Structure formats: structure tokens, C-alpha cells
Chain A
């Protein structure tokens, strides 16, 4: 019964994703859509560790930026995009594993975790900003300080450096990657590891008293979140064809948190919807100069915290069950669980 439910969920995900990938380009240009998809993946990375692991990271942008810079630096040195893409996932994951081990074995929680991740992001931002001089080189790549790194090899068909993937095909690559990441996250959350992670989110002491090594598990989950953020960063680097220190900025970190809150924490879909929705709104607001868009983002956050504190996706899910749920048989355990976990 469980396996059947999982299979159906994968099928629904694939059908809905295929429809969206087919229909959305008719409404929004693929260039804009690509970045919305990338932000969606970035939102999902924090949604995973915060919503399901209870780890509030104020520095998810650090892993995003690290992924982007790793990609750019490796692409300049290697000249073919496959290995740089892999490195852009591994380097942030490794960095997060070290940082996470330090924090979680040091038993830092809640606000201290936020402070440390925030400070690490600031340090990276300041450091990368100050690397304008020619002495800051990694292999062939100059770090370029506040100017960033332009002119690196963008994504190509694996094994063929001259076959660039850009424009519409690049959108499809990003969208398919997001679907794959989404399915992997789904699988992870259904696995014992994911269920234990949720248990840790709910009560660390209890899980430790059951015999689970909480620090090790949180470190692994933190690294997985960073790997996803790193992948998003690499895709973003390919989209923008330049990486700048702004990727590490506090504004970026704050936005990711707002995406998760607005979309719905503790769901898989919420952070993606929140990210894409708010980023698109920012894009639209960027076309006019009457109102500052951070003001609107702030207003939306305040309104959500006041009136829809659980976020958009849980609210819609609750609405749908209250309308359609009655006619069906009593909600099964599996459906209830899915509602709660998105």
C-alpha cells in the first residue's frame, strides 16, 4: 500500500511538472522562468533543512554563492562544464558538513545557529568583495572582487564543450533538474532518514534518548541542503553568465527565508511556490519605479505572518480538503501525513 502510494505520488508529480513545463513558457518568457525555477530549487534547499530538519539557516545564500563561484572558477580552469557542475554540488556540501559538524557537535541551537550562519555569510561576502587584486587567483580564474567573475564556460552537452545549452533548452534543463531534485527530496523524506529528521525537528532530546546521534544526522541533512543550494547556484551562474559577491549578500539570505515562510514551511512545494512567486513579483515590480520592491516583499511577509502564518501551500491544501475532502471516505493516514508534509 505504501509503495503504491509513493508510485502514484511520483506519477502525479511528473504529470503536473510536465504540464507546467509545457504551459508556463506560453505565459512568461523562458529567460525569466529559468531564474524562477532556480530560485525554486534554492527555496527547496532551505525548505528541506528548515521545514523538515528544524535547522534555521540564515546563510543559505552562502551555499548558493559558493556553488556559483565554484562553478565559475572550475569552468574557467577546466573548460568543460560537467566536472564544474559536480564540484559546485560537492564543495558547498563539504563546506556545510564542516560548518554543520562544528555547530551541531558544539550543541548550538536556535538563535546561535542563526548568528553563526549569518556571520559566515557575511565573512564570505566581505572576503569575496575584497579579492579585486590580481593576486587573488585560483588557477586561471581571477576572483575579481566586487566585479565578480565573467566569461566562464557555460553549460554544455556533457563531453562536447562547443555544444552550449542556452535559451529555451537551458530552461528545460533547469526545470527537469528541479523535478529530479524534488523527487529526490520526496524520496528522502519518505525514507527512514527523512522520518528521523522530522522526529529530530520535533524533539531532539527524545530522539537522542531513543539512541539517535542527533548531531551526525543534522550535519548530514545540513550538507544535503547545501548541496541543493550549490546546484541552484551553479545553474544561476550559467543563467547570468557572471557571478558576483551579491550572491552572498544578506538580502539574498533573507529573501530565501521569506520565500519559505510565505510558501509554507514543512511542505516541499511551499518554498518552491514562494520562491518563484515572490521572485516573479519582484521582477514585475522591478519594471516600475513608483514603489520600492523590498517594501512590497516586507509587506507581504508581514501580512502572511499575521493572517496566513502557516503559509500559502498549507492554507490552500486545507481549503481543498474542506471543500472536497468531505465527499470522500475518511482521510487515510497516508493522506493526512501528506497534507502535513506537503
Chain B
């Protein structure tokens, strides 16, 4: 088995009396693609925020490539080479597509190299025609794609995506699926997602969250056919 790039030990997050994340042990190998699913309020996003440093867990530890990063600031975690996309689109609306992606690349490369990488990434995402347009004027799907570019441009070894397919058209989703598969050649990818269609198309191993804890972790087909999972997740959805 490949090197473990992300690991949590007994990760617990409480908000007052609510335990949003309950003693989660999680392991992710290099270049693995993992989807986190679960009904609303299952603790997926809380887990995601604890891993990215947006929240500091009440108990437990987060390790990245063996290093204890519990309680680190988001910028410190990102500086390790971790690409992060939050649930709501987080982009610079007044700046152009190119400037957005350039800023992400500039963190790890000198200005000229950052420009070259931004150009390459824009080609890869087929954003060439709108490269100089401010993000505020773009459609939701395009903004999502730009944010994916921001995440991917600096060659991360770990990519964390919170609901990347939300609100996208089928064509956008197809393109993104291709990009994510591309990413897994060099990076481990964690995807938090609601869209079951998307999960089926992309996932291999799926971790199911329920009431803050890990309910099941298995191959997507077995997870989908598991009666318990259907009860807590798919059943409720219908």
C-alpha cells in the first residue's frame, strides 16, 4: 500500500452540546480518490473543516504525511501543498480568471513560472476565451471551474474538495470529472459530495458519515447496495 498522506485519529468536534464529528479515524493513501457521503448534518463538512484548519477539533489529531497538523491555520496547511475548495465558491470576484489562478500559482512559484502555469491551467480548463474576464461576471459553473484551477495549479499532493459538483450542468460535471481523474495521477483527492450521480461516476472507495461518525467505508458499489446506508441516506433523500 502506498504512503498514507492524510490520517485522523479520534477526530471529535463539538459545538456546545452537539457532537458534529464523533471520534473519526480516517486514512487516505497517496493518489487515492475518496468520496465522503452522508445525509445533511452527518458531519462531512465539519470533518472537512477540521482537516483544512478552518476549525480546530475539540479532540483528536490530524496528520498529513506523518506530520501532526492539528490546530494549524488554513494557510499553513495549504502551504504544505494541499489544495482546498470550500463548499461555497471562494474566488476573487473583481479579479480576472487569469489573476485568480496566477495568485494561486504565485504562492509556490516565481512570477514568470506562475504566469506560465496559469496559462497552461487555463488551457486545460478551456477557459481561454474568458481568461481576462472578472469572475463576478461568470456563470456559476465557470466559477467552479476557475476554483478548481486555483486548487490544481500549484501541483498539490492532496486535494480536498467540498461539493465541487454543486449547481453544475452535466457538461461541466463531465469536464470536472476528467480534471479530477487527471489530478489523481499526482495527488490524493477527497471529495465531499451530495450528488449521487456524480459519486457513481467518479468514486472508488466511499466513506459514509452518519451522525458525526463513520458508518461504513467500502467500494462504491457495495456501499450503494448496503441496506443500512440506503436507510440512512438514500432512503431519507427520497
A and B co-occur in one complex: yes
Spell out A's residues near B (CB within 8 Å): 192, 195-196, 198-199, 202-203, 205-214, 333, 336-337, 340
The listed residue (A202, A210, A214) touching B94 by CB distance below 8 A is: A202
Question: Which B residues lie within 8 Å of A211 (CB)?
Answer: 75, 78-79, 107-108, 154
* Structural contact, A206 and B150, CB atoms closer than 8 A: yes
Q: How far is the CA of A332 from the CA of B108 in the complex (A)?
A: 27
B104 beta carbon closer than 8 Å to chain A? yes
Given contacts A208-B74, A210-B104, A212-B107, contact A199 B86 (CB under 8 A): no
B32 beta carbon closer than 8 Å to chain A? no
B73 beta carbon closer than 8 Å to chain A? yes
Given pairs A199-B95, A207-B75, A333-B98, 17 additional interface contacts (CB within 8 A): A192-B106, A199-B99, A199-B103, A202-B95, A203-B91, A203-B93, A206-B92, A208-B74, A209-B74, A209-B78, A209-B84, A209-B85, A210-B75, A211-B78, A212-B75, A333-B132, A340-B94
Question: Which B residues lie within 8 Å of A195 (CB)?
Answer: 99, 102-103, 106
The listed residue (B73, B92, B93) touching A208 by CB distance below 8 A is: B73
Q: Could you write out 25 A-B pairs with CB less than 8 Å apart?
A: A192-B106, A195-B99, A195-B106, A199-B95, A199-B99, A202-B93, A203-B92, A203-B93, A206-B90, A206-B91, A206-B92, A207-B103, A208-B73, A208-B75, A208-B78, A209-B75, A209-B86, A210-B103, A210-B150, A210-B154, A211-B78, A211-B107, A211-B108, A212-B107, A214-B75
Question: Which A residues lie within 8 Å of B103 (CB)?
Answer: 195-196, 199, 207, 210
The listed residue (A205, A213, A333) touching B86 by CB distance below 8 A is: A205
Number of A-B contacts (CB under 8 A): 70
Given contacts A195-B99, A333-B96, A333-B132, contact A209 B90 (CB under 8 A): yes
Q: How far is the CA of A214 from the CA of B74 in the complex (A)?
A: 10
Name the residue on B nearest A340 (C-beta): B94
Majority SS at the chain A contact face:
helix
B136 to chain A, nearest CB (A): 10
A235 to chain B, nearest CB (A): 33
* Structural contact, B95 and A198, CB atoms closer than 8 A: yes
The 3 A-B pairs with the shortest beta carbon distances in the complex, nearest first, are A202-B92, A211-B78, A211-B79
Question: Which B residues lie within 8 Å of A209 (CB)?
Answer: 52, 74-75, 78, 84-86, 90
Bin chain B's interface residue count: 20 to 34
Question: Which B residues lie within 8 Å of A206 (CB)?
Answer: 90-92, 150
Name the residue on A nearest B93 (C-beta): A202
Question: Which B residues lie within 8 Å of A207 (CB)?
Answer: 75, 103
B152 to chain A, nearest CB (A): 12
* Structural contact, B111 and A192, CB atoms closer than 8 A: yes
B11 to chain A, nearest CB (A): 20
Name the residue on B nearest A202 (C-beta): B92
A6 to chain B, nearest CB (A): 13
Question: Which A residues lie within 8 Å of B111 (CB)?
Answer: 192
Name the residue on A nearest B90 (C-beta): A206
Question: Which A residues lie within 8 Å of B84 (CB)?
Answer: 209
Interface residue ranges of B141-180 to A (CB < 8 Å): 150, 154
Name the residue on A nearest B136 (C-beta): A202
Question: Which A residues lie within 8 Å of B91 (CB)?
Answer: 203, 206
A187 to chain B, nearest CB (A): 14
B164 to chain A, nearest CB (A): 14
A319 to chain B, nearest CB (A): 20
Question: Which A residues lie within 8 Å of B79 (CB)?
Answer: 211
Question: Which A residues lie within 8 Å of B52 (CB)?
Answer: 209
The listed residue (A203, A213, A214, A340) touching B90 by CB distance below 8 A is: A203
Q: Mark B76-89, 1 if CB is under 8 A from A, else 0.
A: 00110000111000
Interface residue ranges of B44-100 to A (CB < 8 Å): 52, 73-75, 78-79, 84-86, 90-96, 98-100
Given contacts A192-B106, A205-B86, A336-B132, contact A210 B95 (CB under 8 A): no
Q: How far is the CA of A199 from the CA of B103 in the complex (A)?
A: 8
Question: Which A residues lie within 8 Å of B94 (CB)?
Answer: 198, 202, 340
* Structural contact, A213 and B75, CB atoms closer than 8 A: yes
Question: Which A residues lie within 8 Å of B74 (CB)?
Answer: 205, 208-209
Question: Which B residues lie within 8 Å of A203 (CB)?
Answer: 90-93
* Structural contact, B78 and A210, CB atoms closer than 8 A: yes
B114 to chain A, nearest CB (A): 8
Question: Which A residues lie within 8 Å of B96 (CB)?
Answer: 333, 336-337
Q: How far is the CA of A209 from the CA of B102 in the complex (A)?
A: 14
Name the residue on A nearest B78 (C-beta): A211
Question: Which A residues lie within 8 Å of B75 (CB)?
Answer: 207-214
Question: Which B residues lie within 8 Å of A212 (CB)?
Answer: 75, 107
Q: How far is the CA of A287 from the CA of B150 in the complex (A)?
A: 57
Name the residue on B nearest A196 (C-beta): B103
Question: Which B residues lie within 8 Å of A208 (CB)?
Answer: 73-75, 78
